[in-house]
């Protein structure tokens, strides 16, 4: 069992100025290249609709939608395209063809009077494993210099728990701005195009370890307890390979439940937060320090799956992740993430 020693509180819940900007108050400029990540597909669609509906006079908007999200609502009047007709026309992804599309579509709209163009591209097509998908990381990075001369702002939407850690890492390194939920954040982990390949090649050997500081950074910048719970649900599959995640926070008075196979996040009642069956080892215990609540990590089973549970004292939070099997390294990582979550909740309680 790990008895966790006091941790540095250097990373605190961010003040409002660092908590991102709501999409409704975000004013894009030409060359903005954003990605959404660690967001469920339903919220991703809502965010896209909000972004595209915010067009001011002289702006135009279009939306490239993917068949994997065909069952989700898509409100708004933006022009619609499909990823099968744009990104993977002919069932293949060609980076040069895609760069030409962004340029030609933007210039065509400018020539018809648009001073600025907003676009959203759903990227779940990349989960299909089509030819050329392996070139996506370098393409995303190369798009940054290509966009600088265009009156175009684009959100590449990777809001799905199905993306592998390596893909999420590439997305983080190649986008200067990040959308989580409906908040826009500057991305301090962005790497310019001329350094991307070297950095990505070095970090992709252990993408989960590279993503932990990214996760910590954005966790502490969530604007509310419910946003924090949704962020935890949507991000833990990337770091732990979990197939089911439940997060219950006292401040939310509900449980958020993520089913990775269905790629769906649901708000359920507190009673739906599962109790470990065959409760096993106590793996870690840490004390309360200041406003940071103490907590513990146990293992057990849930519905026939191996499960890990982090509980914070005074019923502040309970997080359960499940998958067929967890190794020792997964347990150690979950302990680290649990303590970090306790830090974020403790900092959020500061006056």
| Confidence (pLDDT) at 145 | 97
Do 230 and 199 have their domain in common? no
316's tokens? 């502040």
Cβ contacts of 122 within 8 Å, gap of 6 or more: 44, 48, 64, 65, 66, 68, 69, 83, 157
Last residue of a domain, one of 212, 246, 264: 212
In a domain, 3, yes or no: no
In a domain, 10, yes or no: no
| Confidence (pLDDT) at 6 | 34
Low-confidence ranges of the chain (pLDDT < 50): 1-17, 350-351
Do 84 and 118 have their domain in common? yes
Do 271 and 333 have their domain in common? yes
294's tokens? 């103490």
In a domain, 6, yes or no: no
Burial bucket for residue 297 (CB in 10 Å: 0-12, 13-18, 19+): buried
Q: Is the sign of the CA dihedral 249, 328, 161, 30 positive or negative?
A: positive
| Cα dist from 215 to 172, 195, 246, 314, whole Å | 11, 22, 17, 25
Do 110 and 189 have their domain in common? yes
Do 24 and 144 have their domain in common? yes
The CATH code of the domain that includes 47 is 3.40.50
Q: CA–CA separation, 149 vs 164, rounded Å? A: 32
In a domain, 8, yes or no: no
Check residue 297 and report its DSSP letter: E
Closest CA to 339 of 227, 225, 215: 215
Do 142 and 208 have their domain in common? yes
Q: CA–CA separation, 87 vs 317, rounded Å? A: 41
CA 105-127-75 angle, to 5 degrees, is 55
Do 262 and 293 have their domain in common? yes
Do 197 and 162 have their domain in common? yes
| Confidence (pLDDT) at 13 | 38
In a domain, 218, yes or no: no
In a domain, 5, yes or no: no
In a domain, 339, yes or no: yes
Neighbour tally for 225: CB within 10 Å = 18
| Confidence (pLDDT) at 235 | 97
Q: CA–CA separation, 132 vs 91, rounded Å? A: 9
Do 245 and 183 have their domain in common? no
Last residue of a domain, one of 212, 247, 263: 212
Query: What is the domain range of residue 343?
Result: 224-348
Do 54 and 197 have their domain in common? yes
The CATH code of the domain that includes 287 is 3.30.450
| Confidence (pLDDT) at 71 | 67
Q: CA–CA separation, 329 vs 22, rounded Å? A: 36
Under a CB-based contact definition with an 8 Å cutoff, are residues 283 and 291 in contact?
no
Under a CB-based contact definition with an 8 Å cutoff, are residues 158 and 37 in contact?
yes
Under a CB-based contact definition with an 8 Å cutoff, are residues 225 and 251 in contact?
yes
What is the number of structural domains in the chain?
A: 2
């Amino acid at each position: 069992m790990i008895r966790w020693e006091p941790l540095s509180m250097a990373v605190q819940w961010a003040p409002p100025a660092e908590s991102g900007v709501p999409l409704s108050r975000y004013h894009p400029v030409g060359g903005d290249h954003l990605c959404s990540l660690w967001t469920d597909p339903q919220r991703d669609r809502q965010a896209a609709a909000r972004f595209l509906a915010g067009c001011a006079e002289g702006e135009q908007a279009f939306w490239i939608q993917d068949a994997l999200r065909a069952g989700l609502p898509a409100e708004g009047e933006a022009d619609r395209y499909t990823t099968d007709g744009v990104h993977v026309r002919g069932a293949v992804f060609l980076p040069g063809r895609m760069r030409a599309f962004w340029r030609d579509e933007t210039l065509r709209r400018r020539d018809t009077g648009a001073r600025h163009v907003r676009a959203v591209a759903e990227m779940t097509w990349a989960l299909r494993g089509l030819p050329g998908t392996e070139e996506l990381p370098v393409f995303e990075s190369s798009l940054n210099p290509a966009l600088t001369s265009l009156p175009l702002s684009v959100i590449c939407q990777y809001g799905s728990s199905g993306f592998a850690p390596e893909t999420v890492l590439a997305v983080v390194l190649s986008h200067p701005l990040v959308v989580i939920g409906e908040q826009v954040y500057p991305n301090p982990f962005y790497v310019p195009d001329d350094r991307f390949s070297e950095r990505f090649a070095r970090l992709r050997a252990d993408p989960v370890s590279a993503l932990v500081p990214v996760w910590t950074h954005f966790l502490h910048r969530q604007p509310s307890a419910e946003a924090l719970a949704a962020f935890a649900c949507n991000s833990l599959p990337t770091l732990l390979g979990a197939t089911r995640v439940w997060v219950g926070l006292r401040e939310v008075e509900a449980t958020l439940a993520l089913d990775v196979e269905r790629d769906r996040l649901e708000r359920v009642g507190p009673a739906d937060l599962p109790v470990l069956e065959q409760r096993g080892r106590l793996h870690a215990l840490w004390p309360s320090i200041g406003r940071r609540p103490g907590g513990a990590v146990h293992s057990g089973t849930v519905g026939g799956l191996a499960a890990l549970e982090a509980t914070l004292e005074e019923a502040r939070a309970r997080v359960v992740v499940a998958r067929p099997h967890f190794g020792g390294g997964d347990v150690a990582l979950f302990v680290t993430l649990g303590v970090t979550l306790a830090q974020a909740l403790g900092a959020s309680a500061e006056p």
